[in-house]
Amino acid sequence: MHCVRVWTRSLCRVEYLGPWRRSLSHTAAGKLDLSGVYPPIATPFTAKEDVDYQKLEENLLKYAKIPFKGLVVQGSNGEYPYLTEEERVEVVNAVRRSLPLGKLLMAGSGCESTKATLQLTEKMAAVGVDAVLVVNPCFYKGKMDSRALIHHFTEVADSSPVPVVLYSVPANTGLELPMDAVVELCQHPNILGLKDSGGDITRIGLIVHKTEAQDFQVLAGSAGFLMAAYCVGAVGGVCALANVLGQELCELERLCKSGRWEEARVLQQRLIEPNASVTRKLGVPALKQAMEWFGYHGGACRSPLQPLTEAETLQLRRDFSTNGWL
């Protein structure tokens, strides 16, 4: 057990015991500082579709040289819905062991039921994650209204030994975490922020606005709108493309944070098409293919995700090359 939880009234404070954790920065309000860029790392598989820990480690060694704030394990790009619960925890554990000092580790622990989410969150905390990223349940879409989601996330945050980051990814879940639920949940002392992959910049600006009293931290969930999100008040991004062009995304962050907007814009614009290609357009198989081109281990996806067709591979390459990356 890496941490103890101390509840003082409605306030949840998490005291980290491990020495490597002390190096993580905190916000003015004393919360874990999430600001920065994270790759939501891909999960390499062997030809037999088993997790390839060797290749995973080799990727991590390369990522260690990039000024990421930390890593996200089992965001959508990690194919977490295709991993067993045991695999989910074991992969996070493996990443934990390789993680350099001072890097933040966030892991996805969202499941459909509240009960399963509580249990997986406990397990993730036990292997040493700094925060959990909890996607909203979505199967019973029609009933996942604010009432249900506030109840769900409150239960999870109440019992989680580590801070919780909300996660809204409508392209996969078919459901956007409602604004009023976010505004309500931002008041929970154990909920730190939101990863928003929907990309509605008006909504992101409004969330920043309506949660600013709570020191709530918003992360852009995709590289396509990272600059615009910084512009309206986000503090960082969890971007699939960071698996491929991590250095460049950190550079974009640096330009935005230092107010060099003109240079930022030029860089941002060159990243939109490659990003769209490895996410919305061609998905995880494209992300993994592009990783191969840029010196990482991507490899195949678990079925039912299929390898790219030849035409798709050409399109992917074109989206990188016409923007000067290949």
Smallest distance from the beta carbon of 281 to a copy of itself, in angstroms?
8
Q: Cα-flanking dihedrals φ and ψ of residue 165, to 5°?
A: -115, 125
Q: Give the CA dihedral 239, 241, 246, 251, nearest 10 degrees.
A: -70
Largest CA distance in the chain: 59
CB 23 within 8 A of CB 8: no
* Nearer to a copy of itself (CB atom), residue 126 or residue 276: 276
Dihedral (Cα; 100, 284, 192, 8), 10-degree rounding: -80
- 48 is an active site residue: no
> Pairing relation of β-strands 131-135 and 104-108?
parallel
Shortest approach of a copy of itself to residue 249 CB, angstroms? 15
Least distance to a copy of itself from the beta carbon of 116, Å?
7
Cα–Cα distances (Å) from 251 to 189, 235, 262, 264, in that order, read 32, 14, 13, 8
The rounded distance, in Å, linking the Cα atoms of 156 and 216 is 17
Which lies closer to a copy of itself via its Cβ, residue 10 or residue 269? Answer: 269
State in angstroms the smallest separation of the CB of 156 from a copy of itself.
10
Question: CB of 311: closest distance to a copy of itself in angstroms?
Answer: 12
Nearer to a copy of itself, 127 or 208 (CB): 208
59 residue type, one letter? N
The neighbour count for residue 41, using CB atoms within 10 Å, is 24
At 201, the amino acid letter reads I
Contacts with a copy of itself, residue ranges (CB under 8 A): 49, 76, 81-82, 84, 112-116, 137, 139-144, 147-149, 151-152, 155, 171-174, 199-202, 205-206, 208-209, 222, 224-225, 227-228, 231-233, 259, 261, 265, 268-270, 272-273, 276, 280-285, 302-306
Residue 219 in contact with residue 236, Cβ under 8 Å?
A: yes
Closest to 1 measured CA to CA, from 22, 23, 16: 16
- Spatial distance between the Cα atoms of 141 and 154, rounded to a whole number of angstroms: 19
Residue type, 57: E
**167 catalytic residue (yes or no):** yes
Instruction: List the catalytic residue out of 167, 230, 288, 296.
Output: 167
Question: Closer CB to a copy of itself, residue 58 or residue 155?
Answer: 155
Nearest residue (CB) to a copy of itself, 39 versus 285: 285
Among residues 31, 103, 195, 288, the one annotated as catalytic is 195
Q: Angle CA(166)–CA(158)–CA(16) in degrees, nearest 5?
A: 85
Asked if residue 165 belongs to a known ligand binding site, the reply is no
Please report, in range form, the residues annotated as the binding site for pyruvate.
Answer: 238
Catalytic residues: 167, 195
Q: Which residues are annotated as a binding site?
A: 238
